Amino acid sequence: MKSYSLRSPAKINLYLEIVGDRPDGFHELATVFQSIDLADLVHVRSGMQGVIQVECAAEGVPNDASNLAYRAAALMSERFPEAFAKFGGVAIEIEKRIPVAAGLAGGSGNGAAVLVGLDLAWGLGLTQGELQELAAELGSDVPFCVGGGTALATGRGEVLDPLAGVDQVWLVLAKYRSLGVSTPWAYQTYRAQFGAEYARTPEAQAARHTAAKSGPLVRSLQALAAGDRAGLSALRPLLRNDLERVVLPAHPQIAQLRDLLDRLAPLGAMMSGSGPSVFALAESASQAQEIQAAARSALPDPDLEFWVTQFSAAGIRPVNQSV
């Protein structure tokens, strides 16, 4: 029986442009993903008599086949039936530190961790690219979660152009515990309200992708990765999330939180993904803590949670192994 414990980092979107429609019904995107140090711990153990089990004590996390971690194990058992038969079933335990349903890819990261954990436990020797191909079958942002770091993503978010990893940027995360936003609702509402702005042809969509890949945000991140801290001050006007156009008017609490953090943070603030999490960028841990304290004082709501963390250049990472 082999057991691996893996860190499963959250991610934020520093840039999210909705480019247009896709033939499969999804949206064509151009987005910049960034891993952060806030991470779940996923324990993967093989040798469970041919069954798949998921255990997580966090409220709102299913312990059945609807959990992405379970689906990841099921996918691996289907693709590698000899390994599944040889090593037995899979037990998965998830220690949640990433808030649930927060637009931070917590569930996607857990699924990615199971793929990596079973590759190690079963001795498959899969490449990162092969793991990411499997991950794309689970969800649009699961491939990014495998490798993590910093990447520009296109397609549904599964086509990745890795960028040099950035890790010395701090941030404050904030989320109302009881507030959720439906991702399908956010995209469908955006289509209904702003579909006239979509790039309609493959050529027009490709041009939007190219503009994002060579845009000022990517250049600033590359400068930061190379050690040029002057690039930090350039980030504020480059942050973009198209979904704010529909989510913020529908959720005044998120809009108020985003505006407050944007006033407090010299480097700017933005909603991550479809929300409801909002992040504020900071130059240092102390500055992030000051922003957090000021925001908590201005909005003393017990339902509002905060985290101080930083960018991470790593994705799924084993932290422990036992046999």
Known binding residues for ATP are 99-109
11, 119, 175, 242: the active-site residue: 11
Tokens encoding 282: 């900071």
Tokens encoding 219: 């250049």
40, 119, 141, 242: the active-site residue: 141
Strand 317-322, strand 304-310: pairing: unpaired
Tokens encoding 257: 């939180």
Please choose, from the candidates 245, 237, 278, 244, the residue with its C-alpha nearest in 3D space to the C-alpha of residue 260. Answer: 278
Tokens encoding 228: 């040029």
Instruction: Give the angle 209-228-161 at the CA atoms, nearest 5°.
Output: 25
- Angstrom CA distances, 231 to 88, 153, 227, stand at 50, 21, 9
Q: Which residues pair with 282 in a beta bridge?
A: 170
- Angstrom CA distances, 59 to 10, 31, 63, 96, 100, stand at 18, 30, 10, 10, 8
Between helix 68-79 and helix 128-136 the angle, nearest 10°, is: 120
Nearby residues of 211 by Cβ (< 8 Å), 6 or more positions away:
none
CB-side neighbour CA atoms (13 Å) of 163: 26
Q: Active site includes 96?
A: no
Q: Give the separation between CA 302 and CA 147, rounded to whole angstroms.
A: 35
Q: Active site includes 37?
A: no
Nearby residues of 302 by Cβ (< 8 Å), 6 or more positions away:
none
In Å, how far from its chain's centre is CA 27?
17
Q: Give the separation between CA 113 and CA 289, rounded to whole angstroms.
A: 30
Return binding residues: 99-109
Q: Which residues pair with 172 in a beta bridge?
A: 280, 308
Active site residues: 11, 141
